[in-house]
Amino acid sequence: MADIRKTAKVVLRVLALVGLQLMLLNPAQADQEEANRLAVEGISASLGEDEPRVLYILPWQAPSLPKRPRADLNDEAPELVRPV
């Protein structure tokens, strides 16, 4: 039973040392990540902008297919002017 307690104490000490090392190494890794961080330039939203920016995509070539013929719309709609 005494051997188990000694082993448990040793394991806890090792885990505590490993935990301290991890806590001390994390700031160094965070500095490296900030140094390696990439920036992307372009459109970005900022605080105070009420309307989003819009990207309009316009065709650079005329369509290759001809327009399809369409039927004329009926200008007379008697069902719309009929009383209810």
pLDDT in tens, 11-70: 889 888 888 777 776 665 556 666 677 776 776 666 666 666 777 887 777 778 888 888
Asked whether the whole model's pTM tops 0.75, one would answer no
Q: Where are the domains of the chain?
A: 1-80
- Give me the pLDDT at residue 43, please: 64
Structure tokens at 55: 């990207």
- Cα–Cα distance between 46 and 48 in angstroms, integer? 6
- Give me the pLDDT at residue 27, please: 62
By the 8 A CB rule, do 53 and 45 touch?
yes
pLDDT at 75 over 60: yes
